Amino acid sequence: MDRDFWQARWEANQIGFHQSEINPYLRDHWPSLQAPQGGQVFVPLCGKSLDMCWLASQGYALLGVEFVAQAVTEFFAEQQLTPRQRTQGQFAAWSAENITLLCGDFFALTPDDLKQVAAVYDRASLVALPPALRQRYVSHLRTVLPTGAPILLVTLEYPAGQMEGPPFSVSEAEVRDLYAATHEIARVHSEDVLSDSPQFQAKGLTRLVENVYVLRPRS
C-alpha cells in the first residue's frame, strides 16, 4: 500500500472509507479519554475525515497527516476554509482555524512535529496498512508521540481469507501484540456491522466486526 496506490484511489474517487457523518464511536467514546480541553489531537492517515471537524468543534486543536495532497485540498475546500501553507520539515503544512494537516508521509514525522499532541484518534488508519507496515506504524507512533497521550482506536475484524485489504482485519490479539508493552488496552465496544455494509457483503464477507479500544500509556 504505497503512495501510488492511495493516490490512484483518491484520483478515482474510490474512497469508500470516507464517512459522510461523524463517526458514532468517536462521539460516544472520546469523552472517556479525558483529553485536556484545548489540547492537540493527532489524526494519523487522516484523509478528509469529518471527524476532525467534530473534534475541532469540541475545542481541540487538530493535527492530521496525509500524504495525498488531493485529500488535503478537498478537506479544506469542502469545509469552506482557506488554508495558509508553509513548509514544516519534509511536510507541506496546511492550516486554517484550529486545524493543521501535514501533507507528507506518516513515517517521516519526528517527535518535534507531534510535541504538542495530547491524544490520538485512529479510525481506518491502522487497518489501512498490511501486517508488516502495521508493526512499523505502531513502532513509529510510539517513537514520535509524547509520553502520556491516550489513543482511541477503531478497528475492523473479519474472517481470514475472505477479502484482500485494505481495509485489513485486525484482531484484538493483534492490537494487544502491538500495544500491550506500552499501553493498557480496554475494548470498549464491539459490533457486527455487516448487515449495514452492502459493499462488504458483496465481497463475500460473512462477518464484519468493528471494535473500539481505549489505549492508555502505562505510567
Ligand X SMILES: C[S@@+](CC[C@H](N)C(=O)[O-])C[C@H]1O[C@@H](n2cnc3c(N)ncnc32)[C@H](O)[C@@H]1O
Give residues in contact with ligand X (CB under 6 A): 6, 17-18, 45-47, 49, 65-68, 71, 105-107, 123-125, 128, 166
For residues 56 and 35, what is the distance between their CA atoms, to the nearest angstrom?
13
Across 67-199, the runs of DSSP E, i.e. the strands, are: 84-88, 91-96, 99-103, 117-123, 151-157, 183-192
Torsion of CA 61, 110, 9, 17, to 10 degrees: -40
| CB closer to ligand X, 37 vs 54 | 54
Residue 215 or 218: the one with the smaller Cβ distance to ligand X is 215
Of the pair 3, 218, the CB lying nearest ligand X is at 3
Q: Which is nearer to ligand X, 130 or 218 (CB)?
A: 130
Q: Shortest approach of ligand X to residue 46 CB, angstroms?
A: 5
Q: Considering the complex, what minimum distance in angstroms separates the CB of residue 219 from ligand X?
A: 28
Closest chain position to ligand X (CB): 47
Identify the CA nearest to 46 among candidates 125, 120, 127: 125
- Beta strand 99-103 with 91-96 is antiparallel
Output the smallest distance, CB 108 to ligand X, in A.
8
* Closest distance to ligand X from the beta carbon of 6 (Å): 3
